[in-house]
């Protein structure tokens, strides 16, 4: 075991709670009891999700269901993903689940629901690092499985954010266990599914630095990302096209944007140019996003013809927050000028760097719970300050704030408050798209997200500034 490892019960044990080594003779819950409890939770959780199996929205109708139809009938060639604006790994999974012979809507939501389980499992494992031999990991698993945004995202919306988020949590878990290479691999998997995984990268980098692990291990994430594109390349898609998926998303191509300040999702696929894709591209229109008004403009690919993947249709909406796509961010209160956009980018970078510097200066006092707090603060603050965020970009913050609430110790009440604020703000921002109306003004939801971020940062600063001795963590505790 490393010389400066966290105290453990014995050489092969999980790290004990910070500052309080577990009693050597302490016994945790029996494995059979844990498995029984998890089984009950899973039955109840999937029973709840089953109630929403028939819920449909325009994202499913225009995008995911046509993709599912393509991979279920198109064979290996359909894995190119040129007809989709998601990275190919998601289409690989759609292809696998299509082999079950289920109705498309159920299969799509089942896939996301299975990753809800993986997400909750990693949340429980993270809690178990700080509070081992207890029922708290099972409690964390349960809370995540029933978290409103987790349920709505997969069961109602049919989205797949649980996939990238579960691999981000797995990456964090492995980094805290002293396995930098595997942590990097899982981050590469996360990034291959969703660009939003990049919000987690500063946290992962800081954990590796603070624990004096091999930061260059992050190169494994690049290799993993490239490796997961190989099946699409073998199916016939060129590397330039494969590597353009995320740049196209950033520049506004692919999907339509979300109406801001109460608008529904609008825009579309844009006009397709020349390119290798057969099937053409739908013509993107100018979407409207007034409160409660369904969007117009945009469309799916038209059959026949040739053309590359179209750009995004433009979006207009009533209200404020031109640089926020229905997300509870600082841009709900600002304008849409280039100066404000770059100010947000600079603020996000400076805040992340500031938190990292604070943690480095106080590295002798930061423990596992402190690193979870640091990670939570980053995944709240970064999307809050960045421009052009969509409503689901706080998904990782929704889950990590729950983990932090289970592990923080003496400030549990404050972190429960932060977790509730994050969840309410995220869930409220889903309403304009899913319900067609604004339940709570997005500016108010942004205040809630700001308060959650401020609480998390304050608890982190207070924890790092305590005068009493804290468990040192200059190297990870490595369990066998």
Question: 180-189, 191-200, 281-290, 389-398 — which is least confidently predicted?
Answer: 281-290
Going by pLDDT thresholds of 50, 70 and 90, the confidence category of residue 92 is very high
* Close Cβ partners of 153 (under 8 Å, ≥ 6 residues apart): 112, 159, 161, 162, 392, 395
Cβ atoms < 10 Å from Cβ of 419: 26
Name, of 139-153, 240-254, 276-290, the range with top average pLDDT. 139-153
Q: What are the start-end ranges of the H helices in 177-284? A: 180-193, 201-210, 219-227, 230-234, 239-242, 245-251
Mean pLDDT within 355-377 = 91
Look at strands 324-325 and 389-390 and give their pairing.
Answer: parallel
How far apart, in whole angstroms, are the C-alpha atoms of residue 276 and residue 271? Answer: 15
Query: pLDDT per residue over 254-285, tens digit each?
Result: 444 433 333 334 343 333 333 333 333 333 33
Q: By three-state DSSP, how is residue 389 classified?
A: strand
For every residue of 62-125, DSSP letters joined together read: IIIHHHHHHHHHSGGGGGG-TT-SS-HHHHHHHHHHHTT---HHHHHHHHHHHHHHHHHHHHHH
Ranges of each domain in the chain: 31-250, 267-316, 321-466
Residue 460 has a pLDDT of 94
Q: What is the CA radius of gyration of the chain?
A: 22
Reading the block at residue 43, the tokens are 């039955």
pLDDT of residue 465: 81
Query: What distance separates the 2 farthest-apart alpha carbons in the chain?
Result: 72
More reliable by pLDDT, 125 or 20:
125
pLDDT at residue 310 tops 60: no
Phi–psi pair at 8, nearest 5 degrees: -130, 165
Q: How far is CA 97 from CA 50, 72, 102, 106, 189, in A?
A: 17, 9, 8, 10, 18
- The mean predicted confidence, pLDDT, of the chain is 81
Please name the residue that has the structure tokens 């954010």.
161
Determine the Cα–Cα distance for residues 361 and 464; give it in Å rounded to an integer: 9
Q: Burial letters for 332-349: b for 16+ Cβ neighbours within 10 Å, e otherwise?
A: bebeeeeebbeebeebbe
User: Which is it for the CA torsion 475, 477, 479, 480, positive or negative?
Assistant: positive
| Per-residue confidence (pLDDT) for residue 26, from 0 to 100 | 59
Q: What is the pLDDT of residue 326?
A: 86
Q: Write the CA distances from 408 to 150, 176, 206, 284, 379, integer angstroms.
A: 22, 16, 19, 48, 17
Q: How many CB atoms lie within 10 A of CB 276?
A: 14
Residue 468's pLDDT band (cuts 50, 70, 90): very low
**Cβ atoms < 10 Å from Cβ of 47:** 9
At 266 the pLDDT is 39
Q: Please, are residues 22 and 133 in contact by the beta-carbon 8 Å criterion?
A: yes
Q: What is the pLDDT of residue 254?
A: 40
Alpha-carbon gap, residue 234 to 229, rounded angstroms:
9
**Whether residue 406 has pLDDT greater than 70:** yes
Does the pTM surpass 0.75? The reply is yes
Per the CB < 8 A criterion, the answer to whether 422 and 397 are in contact is: yes
pLDDT of residue 338: 84
Q: What is the pLDDT of residue 17?
A: 39
C-alpha–C-alpha distance, residues 92 and 83, integer Å: 13
């Amino acid at each position: 075991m490393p010389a400066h490892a966290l105290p453990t019960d014995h050489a092969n044990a999980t790290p004990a709670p910070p500052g309080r080594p577990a009693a050597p003779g302490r016994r945790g819950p029996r494995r059979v009891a844990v498995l029984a409890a998890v089984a009950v939770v899973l039955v109840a959780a999937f029973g709840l999700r089953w109630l929403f199996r028939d819920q449909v929205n325009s994202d499913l109708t225009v995008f995911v269901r046509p993709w599912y139809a393509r991979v279920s009938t198109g064979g290996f060639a359909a894995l190119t993903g040129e007809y989709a604006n998601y990275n190919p790994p998601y289409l690989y999974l759609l292809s696998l689940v299509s082999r079950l012979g289920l109705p498309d809507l159920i299969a799509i939501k089942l896939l996301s629901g299975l990753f809800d389980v993986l997400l909750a499992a990693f949340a429980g494992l993270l809690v178990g690092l700080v509070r081992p031999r207890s029922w708290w990991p099972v409690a964390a698993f349960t809370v995540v499985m029933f978290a409103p945004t987790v349920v709505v995202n997969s069961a109602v919306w049919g989205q797949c954010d649980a996939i990238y988020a579960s691999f981000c949590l797995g990456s964090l878990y492995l980094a805290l266990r002293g396995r930098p290479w595997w942590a990097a691999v899982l981050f590469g998997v996360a990034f291959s599914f969703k660009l939003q995984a990049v919000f987690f990268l500063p946290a992962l980098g800081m954990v590796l630095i603070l624990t004096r692990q091999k930061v260059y291990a992050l190169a494994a994430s690049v290799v993993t990302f490239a490796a997961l594109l190989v099946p699409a390349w073998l199916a016939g898609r060129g590397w330039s096209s494969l590597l353009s998926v995320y740049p196209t998303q950033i520049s506004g191509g692919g999907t339509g944007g979300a109406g801001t300040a109460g608008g529904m999702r609008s825009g579309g696929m844009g006009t397709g140019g020349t390119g290798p894709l057969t099937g053409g591209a739908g013509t993107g229109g100018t979407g409207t996003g007034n409160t409660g008004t369904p969007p117009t403009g945009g469309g799916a690919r038209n059959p026949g013809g040739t053309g590359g993947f179209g750009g995004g249709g433009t979006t207009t909406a009533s209200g404020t927050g031109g640089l926020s796509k229905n997300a509870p961010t600082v841009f709900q209160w600002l304008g849409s000028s280039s100066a404000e956009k770059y100010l947000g980018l600079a603020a996000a970078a400076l805040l992340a760097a500031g938190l990292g510097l604070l943690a480095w200066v106080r590295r002798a006092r930061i423990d596992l719970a402190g690193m979870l707090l640091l990670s939570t603060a980053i995944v709240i603050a970064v999307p809050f300050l960045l421009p052009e965020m969509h409503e689901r970009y706080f998904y990782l913050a929704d889950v990590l704030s729950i983990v932090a609430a289970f592990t923080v110790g003496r400030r549990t009440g404050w972190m429960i408050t932060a977790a509730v604020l994050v969840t309410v703000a995220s869930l409220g921002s889903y309403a304009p798209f899913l319900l067609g109306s604004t339940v709570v003004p997005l500016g108010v939801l942004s205040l809630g997200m700001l308060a959650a971020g401020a609480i998390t940062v304050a608890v982190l600063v207070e924890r790092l500034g305590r005068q009493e001795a804290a468990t040192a963590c200059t190297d990870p505790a490595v369990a066998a």
